[in-house]
Chain A
Amino acid sequence: MLSVARRAVLGQARGALARPAFTTSPCSLQRLLSSLAVLEQRDGKLNAGSLSAVTAAKKLGGSIHAIVAGASARGAAEEAAKVEGLEKVLVVESSAYEKGLPENYAPLLVENIKKGGYTHVFAGHTAFGKSVMPRVAALIDSQQISDITAIESEDTFVRPIYAGNAIATVQSTDPVKVITIRGTAFSSADSAPSSGSATVEDGADPKADSLSEWVSEDLAKSDRPDLATAGRVVSGGRGLKSKQDFDKIMLPLADALGAAVGASRAAVDSGYADNSLQVGQTGKVVAPQLYMAVGISGAIQHLAGMKDSKVIAAINKDPEAPIFQVADVGLVGDLFDKVPELTEKLKESS
């Protein structure tokens, strides 16, 4: 309620700026909201998922700028400039920021936050956001608010704690709010590049020395949709028994559904699937239209990562498995029979 009132006042204040005839005093506000959305890029390509930060900033209201940095970040900046609602995109082109090393990326953000006088800084609760944003927050002496799922007002936010078993509403007293957001709660779909026309400007570059160096990376190659943003996810657990069976059973099902592949911790620890596919409290949090859990019992740490899915389906041979308590539709049976049958049926009907 507070948020609605405040936004209404803000809306009027902004209207007043445009049309001086409307005399709501902007002075009644402490200061106008202005957000900085931190966008991720790779090789000059914008990471579309990171636009969730813009979606979150839009929900807050006020002016929104974005920042993107990297060796050839200008391309990503041009792409971002088309996003509806963005006023300005700051770009810092330097190879020093290409890999997002927190030791120099954090000072870069701090410099631009100070220069721009932003009240809110948003980034995704991704590996990048988790490593860079707390460093930024400490440098400006702000207690970060992690992994928010909703914005109640300019200083009040909602975030899940205890693996999603409790939902906390917290109010920040810091002048600059440093916030990481849960991507699935702020879908980037409505902020996808469209007709926006933000200006692209050079951001400040403090040229801080990096204390660390990037050595190498080993990313899982896949033509399937990205797990974090996929509309459908099929996930396998310990019940798959081996990596061969995981690949033989789960991959055709994923392809028949056009789904991303996920896994439980048990499946990852046993080597059936790559670490980056883990869904849960310590892995990825997903909220697709359809989540199909195969051979997954449904431990609370796993549920933390998928219970906001629109529809949950479960196939498990144990009728008592906790997964059936949250599944919209459950099938008790041997996954080695049921899944191939399902894959065939899906292929026929498509």
Chain B
Amino acid sequence: MSGLRILVPIKRVIDYAVKPRVNKAQTGVELAGVKHSMNPFDELSVEEAVRLRERKAGPAGVEDICVISAGPAKAQETLRTAMAMGADRAVHVETAEDAPALEPLSVAKLLKRAAEDHKSNLVILGKQSIDDDSAQTGPMLAALLGWPQATQASKVEVGSDGSVSVTCEVDGGVETVRARLPMVVTTDLRLNEPRYASLPNIMKAKKKPLEKKALADYGVSAESRLKVVKVTEPPPRQGGGKVEDVGGLVAKLKELGAL
């Protein structure tokens, strides 16, 4: 059996520390001039792929780590970041600057073709992107490929015989599942601690190959099945002020009917 050929899909999203604002037209969230970065769960995916290489996991170590992102031109910055963390190469599927983000099902269809093209045998995705919060792409991709899946991974072990044991975070604790390559894994917060790209690695990443593709190359259209009717701000919650002491706290809670 050949080595691991890992495909890591990544997404450029509004930075997690930024509080998003709904635009005036109520069609979406204001994206212009807002700090973007790699979806935090995708950083975990890149990190895990690089760690699998470092511990020579799998039947014959890691042969290839390819990162892929669909999005406007700036998605390339995110791909360079992933390469600076240790990915070998990148594929950028360019979409129009003002186009709405692709839906998970479209991304899954795109990734199916990409996984086939690149002869991937392990796809590591984040469990969800922090913008749309859908948590769908990984299982959808596994379904389209007919591969096994493990979601919300907090531990991944690839044996030398091509078996993969994954500890998954579930409601109430963890469970461990086992399958054979090829496989789809989605990452959860506790999987690892992503590294910072060092300056020399950032410089090196500029020379790594970045292939440009179009949606049509994957037979995918930008069309949406879910039409966004409107996007609004959630009803604001007003703080109710402070109390002086524990007695006041209990009294206020009683007044509010919470005790």
Chain A residues in the interface with B (C-beta under 8 A): 99, 101-103, 106, 125-128, 130-139, 141-147, 156, 159-174, 211-220, 228, 232, 257, 265, 269, 274-276, 281-282, 284, 289-290, 300-301, 307, 310-313, 315, 319, 324-333, 338, 341-342, 345-346, 349
Q: Chain A contacts of B165 at CB under 8 A?
A: 215
Question: B156-175 CB contact bits vs A (8 Å, 1 = yes)?
Answer: 00000000010011111111
B239 touches A166 (CB 8 A): no
Q: Is the interface of B mostly helix, strand, loop or mixed?
A: mixed
Judge if B108 is at the interface, Cβ distance under 8 Å.
yes
Q: Which residues of B contact A (CB under 8 A)?
A: 14, 16, 19-20, 22, 28-29, 103-105, 108, 127-128, 130-144, 146-152, 154, 165, 168-180, 188-190, 224-234, 237, 239-243, 245-250, 252-253, 256-259
Is the beta-carbon distance between B250 and A342 smaller than 8 angstroms?
A: yes
A300 to B19, Cβ gap below 8 A? yes
Among B108, B154, B175, B248, point to the contact of A138 (Cβ < 8 A): B108
| Cβ B173 vs Cβ A220 within 8 A | yes
B170 to chain A, nearest CB (A): 4
Tell me the complex Cα distance, A142–B29, Å: 25
Q: Find out whether the CB atom of A167 lies under 8 angstroms from the CB atom of B227.
A: no
- In the complex, given contacts A173-B226, A311-B258, what are 16 additional A-B residue pairs having Cβ atoms less than 8 angstroms apart? A134-B104, A136-B143, A138-B108, A139-B143, A141-B105, A145-B226, A147-B133, A167-B232, A174-B225, A211-B179, A228-B171, A276-B174, A290-B258, A290-B259, A329-B249, A342-B246
A328 and B240 in contact, given A165-B234, A219-B172, A275-B190 (Cβ under 8 angstroms): yes
In the complex, 25 of the A-B residue pairs with CB atoms within 8 angstroms, ordered by the A residue number, are: A102-B149, A103-B142, A127-B152, A130-B152, A131-B149, A133-B139, A143-B103, A144-B104, A147-B134, A162-B20, A162-B29, A162-B133, A165-B19, A165-B29, A173-B226, A212-B177, A215-B177, A216-B176, A275-B154, A275-B173, A275-B174, A290-B259, A307-B234, A330-B243, A332-B242
B residues near A349, Cβ cutoff 8 Å: 250
**Least Cβ distance of A99 to chain B in Å?**
8
CB contacts (< 8 Å) of B147 on chain A: these are 211
Residues of the B chain whose Cβ atoms lie less than 8 Å from the Cβ of A310:
258
Do B173 and A168 touch across chains, with their CB atoms under 8 A apart? no
Do residues B237 and A346 form an inter-chain contact, with CB atoms below 8 A?
no
Contact B225 A166 (CB under 8 A): no
Q: How many A-B residue pairs have CB under 8 A?
A: 261
Q: Which of A164, A171, A282 has the most CB of B within 10 A?
A: A282
Contact B237 A281 (CB under 8 A): no
Closest to B139 in A: A134
- Residues in chain B near residue A170, CB distance under 8 A: 226-229
Which A residue's beta carbon lies closest to that of B109? A138
Verify A169–B245 contact, CB threshold 8 A. no
Q: Which residue of A lies closest to B240 (CB)?
A: A328
8 Å CB contact of A265 from B148, B169, B189, B249 = B189
Contact A215 B246, CB 8 Å, known A307-B237, A328-B256: no
Name the CB-closest residue of B to A319: B242
Whether B259 contacts A330 by the Cβ 8 Å rule is no
In the bound assembly, the distance between CA atoms of A40 and B206 in angstroms comes to: 49
Partner of A213, one of B128, B177, B225, B250: B177
- List the A side residues contacting B178 at CB < 8 Å: 212-213, 215
Give Cα A310 to B178, complex, Å: 41
Residue in B16, B28, B127 whose beta carbon sits within 8 Å of that of A301 in the complex: B16
Judging by beta carbons under 8 Å apart, are B133 and A163 in contact?
Answer: yes
With A134-B136, A161-B231 known as contacts, the answer to whether A313 contacts B249 (CB < 8 A) is yes
Known: A167-B234, A274-B173, A345-B246. A138 touches B105 (CB 8 A): yes
B22 lies within 8 A of A144 (CB) = no
The distance from the CB of B189 to the nearest CB of chain A, in whole angstroms, is 6
Residue of A nearest to B257 (CB): A311
Q: Are B149 and A329 closer than 8 Å at their CB atoms? A: no
CB contact under 8 A between A160 and B234, given known A126-B171, A134-B136, A138-B105: yes
Complex-state Cα separation, A218 to B239, whole angstroms: 39
How many angstroms from the CA of A329 to the CA of B232 in the assembled complex? 27
A163 touches B174 (CB 8 A): no
Interface centre among B28, B29, B230, B253 (most CB of A within 10 A): B253
Residues of B contacting A99 in the complex (Cβ-Cβ under 8 angstroms): 175
How far is B169's CA from A343's CA once the two chains are assembled, in angstroms?
32
Complex interface: chain A residues within 8 A of B249 (CB): 313, 315, 329, 331, 342
B188 and A214 contacting across the interface, CB-CB below 8 Å: no
List residues of chain B with CB within 8 A of the CB of A163: 130, 133
Most buried by B among A156, A328, A332, A346: A328
Are A330 and B226 in contact (CB-based, < 8 A)?
A: no
Q: Does the CB pair A330–B239 fall under 8 Å?
A: yes
